[in-house]
Amino acid sequence: MSRLPIRVKLTAAFALALVLVLGGAGAFVFLRLQADLDEGIDAALAARAAAVAAAGSAAAAAPEDAEEGFAQQLGPDGRVLDAVGGLRGAALRPGELRRAASGERVVVERELPGVEGTTRVLARGRAVVGQSLDDRDDTLGSLVASFAIGGPIAVLLASGLGYALATAGLRPVEAMRRRAQEVSLGSGGARLPVPAARDEVRRLGDTLNAMLERLRGAFERERRFVADASHELRTPVAVIKAELEAALRAGGHNPQVRKALVAALEECDHLSQLAEDLLVVARTSEGGLPLRPEPLDPGELLDRVRRRFADRARERGRAITVDVEGEPVVAADELRLLQALGNLVDNALRHGEGEIGLRACPARPGTAFEVSDQGAGFAPGFAERAFERFARGDPARTRSGTGLGLAIVRAIAEAHGGRADVVQAAGGTVRLWLPSASSQAAAVPFRAIDRSEAS
């Protein structure tokens, strides 16, 4: 019952209440009608008994139908002196005869031979009269049949009406639910609709709208913080990275110092990547990632990515290879595409093993980029949620990440009208597909920006 919709619960409660009301009303009408009919029968029997007593003859109260009633005149000893109607034998038992002879009014109901159905008997003094209750029982039976047929029909009709009323009453709530599906924290000042009546639903809507405004304010403050923090981090991180690279190129360090410089440079690269990822998260939350698409050479892009991570790969004893099939052409934002490919290579360096392969090939109607390694790949069941924000794979991996790398890859791909997915869980092959320039123009309304904004 707890899993049923509210309108169904309201309808069921309304139907149950209606059944109880109809049952109570039916019982009251039945008992009231029975009492009225019995009262009328008793009045008729009393009149007939009085006529027998006054005339001293049962013929004074002869029934219209012999099988419907009777009248008897009793002697002092209780014997039947005179009788009319269909009754065969005495109507009263000895104890009832003594009570009647003493002047007490005796009323009983029983089946008697010669009279149809149950008979109501009235005796007083030496007069005894009786009347069949078939007509009364038929009337009460008709009443019960009417309630038995009309009651369920009334309950069904009323339940349908109750369901319609419940639906109408919950319509403002349903309207708020539908709007809530469309409202996001970044959707401007969109609010939930509230009814005109100042009722409980109106107060609920006003409360939810106030909560939505508070959430929007908190979200906006968080977004600004993330964007500002990522901007502030980029410059000092770039300076530190340049200094570390200069120190490594200068040489003359003992192995321990060189190892520390390489580790610091690697962490600096991670921090720089995190700053870029946070900036993308902030701009994606604004409602769309700003792009500046231009024709690019996939082979040159992959070679730039390889050179960027060559030192890190060499320090780990790993190689990065580039393979370009056919003559692929891509129209994309250069900085964003390099960031996406860099995230994939960084992921392969941190979590994969062996040689890292960078591949580009035509994939009509567009271009596909693939990054693979020779490691164990994605953990079972993780491939389906690998592109979610802050998703983490096997906790047993030697290094942990922020869980943003692959989410940024998908955000950049979708901003171009493409997609990103795992094409082979074993080995960790990830594909980034971008549509052709004509397909992008038809499907994606790019937000043109200055290069300074993109950086």
Q: What is the pLDDT of residue 292?
A: 85
Q: Is the pLDDT of residue 93 over 90?
A: no
- The pLDDT, as a whole number, for residue 186 is 61
- Give me the sign of the Cα torsion angle 394, 399, 400, 405: negative
Please say whether the beta carbons of 69 and 129 come within 8 A. Answer: yes
Query: Which tokens is 92 given?
Result: 């009263």
Which pair of tokens denotes residue 60?
């004074």
Q: Where are the beta strands (DSSP E) in 291-418?
A: 293-296, 320-324, 330-333, 356-362, 366-372
Statement: residue 268 has pLDDT above 70: yes
- Give the whole-angstrom CA distance, residue 415 versus residue 443: 10
Give the span between the Cα atoms of 39 and 115, in whole angstroms. Answer: 20
Question: Tens digits of per-residue pLDDT, 339-390?
Answer: 899 989 988 888 888 899 999 998 878 899 999 988 877 776 676 777 777 6
Q: Does position 397 have pLDDT exceeding 50, yes or no?
A: no
**Bond before 328 cis per omega within 30 degrees:** no
What is the per-residue pLDDT for 319?
93
Report whether pLDDT(405) > 70. yes
Closest CA to 115 of 58, 67, 83: 67
State how far the Cα of 332 lies from the Cα of 335, in Å rounded to an integer: 9
Q: Is the pLDDT of residue 161 over 80?
A: yes
pLDDT of residue 428: 75
pLDDT reading at 330 higher than 80: yes
Choice among 40-44, 168-172, 344-348 with the minimum mean pLDDT? 168-172
Residue 356: predicted pLDDT: 93
User: What percent of the chain clears pLDDT 70, i.e. is strictly above it?
Assistant: 87
Look up residue 419 and give its DSSP letter: E
Give the list of residues 6+ apart from residue 252 with CB closer than 8 angstroms, or none.
Answer: none
**% of the chain at pLDDT higher than 90:** 24
Greater pLDDT, 177 or 299? 299
**Residue 425 predicted with pLDDT over 70:** no
Considering only 128-132, 220-224, 355-359, 396-400, which range has the smallest mean pLDDT? 396-400
Distance of CA 131 to the CA centre of its chain: 66
The answer, yes or no, to whether residue 398 has pLDDT greater than 70, is: no
Mean pLDDT score, 219-234: 74
What is the rounded CA–CA span in Å between residue 389 and residue 107?
89
320 alpha carbon, distance to own chain's centre: 49
What's the distance, Cα to Cα, between the start and end of the chain in Å?
A: 57
For residue 357, the cross-strand partners are: 321, 372
pLDDT of residue 185: 66
* pLDDT band at 83; cut points 50, 70, 90: confident
**Any idea what DSSP says for residue 383?**
G
pLDDT of residue 145: 93
Give the pLDDT band (50/70/90) at residue 323: very high
Strands 127-132 and 69-74: what pairing?
A: antiparallel
Q: Of 28-32, 43-47, 86-90, 381-385, where does mean pLDDT reach its minimum?
A: 381-385
pLDDT at 445: 43
User: Average pLDDT of the chain?
Assistant: 82
Contact of 73 with 80, CB cutoff 8 Å: yes
* Tokens linked to 71: 């009248």
Concatenate the DSSP letters of all residues of 43-54 into one string.
HHHHHHHHHHHH
Residue 147's Cβ-side half-sphere holds a number of Cα atoms within 13 Å equal to: 17
